[in-house]
Chains A and B, each alone.
Chain A
């Protein structure tokens, strides 16, 4: 059974700092991995989707990497802003079964 873990559970950084969020999974036989953002009281917004054959994806200040063999993905956020404050979740897709991590709650202080 696929287990997805995200570390740290919470992170607080000053504005402007670059930061890395981590996601690990136990079964490397995945189809793709997604990073989502969840704001309080709202649903999830897809940020980046990495196919299993890809190593990374970039969107603006966000860069996600995938290392299937080691069961790891990272989400890099450059020049963080207060508006980036949210919970970030990774989700692993395998055999049409998407498993989520518990998320990292990010606070960016002005």
Chain B
């Protein structure tokens, strides 16, 4: 079974530039999550999708972050414009149904450095 795919793996940009990350979840998984993991901290949930609908985006900085999952499969997360404090690893995860009892499978992450 193929795992969660993310690209790019690394990205370096200057502040105020825009950047986009892509995630392809495990086939058949209805729920997709984006997390931000700042160095030395645990991941923080940014947004959760159930199919193509948003379940929770309460911790997404909506003035600069946006995410979509138009066809209920792969997803993109965008930052525009980027700030220095956005430097982090952005992790994508998926689960079959999205219930609290279900295991989330994580991708390798995209490491973003904002200069």
- Which A positions have Cβ atoms within 8 angstroms of B? 4, 31-32, 41-46, 49, 51, 89, 91, 93, 96-103
**A73–chain B nearest beta-carbon distance, Å:** 14
In the bound complex, CA of A77 to CA of B98 (Å): 29
Taking a contact as CB atoms closer than 8 A, the residue among B4, B45, B108 that contacts A98 in the complex is B45
Query: Are A44 and B43 within 8 A (Cβ)?
Result: yes
Between-chain CB contacts (< 8 Å), 13 pairs: A43-B4, A43-B93, A46-B104, A46-B105, A49-B101, A51-B101, A89-B42, A89-B43, A91-B42, A96-B48, A97-B45, A97-B56, A100-B44
Query: Are A103 and B42 within 8 A (Cβ)?
Result: yes
For residue A32, which residues in chain B have a CB less than 8 angstroms away from its CB? Answer: 100-101
In the bound complex, CA of A97 to CA of B33 (Å): 12
Cβ of B17 under 8 Å from chain A: no
For residue A100, which residues in chain B have a CB less than 8 angstroms away from its CB? Answer: 41-44
Would A49 and B103 be within 8 Å (CB), given that A102-B41, A102-B42 are in contact? yes
In the bound complex, CA of A100 to CA of B106 (Å): 14
Q: Mark B37-68, 1 if CB is under 8 A from A, else 0.
A: 00011111100100000011000000000000
CB closest chain-B residue, reference A39: B108
Cβ of B109 under 8 Å from chain A: yes
Cβ of B79 under 8 Å from chain A: no
Cβ of B82 under 8 Å from chain A: no
Task: Give the residues from 3 to 46 in chain B that come closer than 8 angstroms, CB to CB, to chain A.
Answer: 4, 40-45
Given A31-B100, A101-B42, 15 other A-B residues pairs in contact with their CB atoms under 8 A: A4-B42, A43-B108, A43-B109, A44-B104, A46-B103, A46-B104, A49-B101, A49-B103, A89-B42, A93-B100, A96-B100, A97-B45, A97-B56, A99-B42, A102-B40
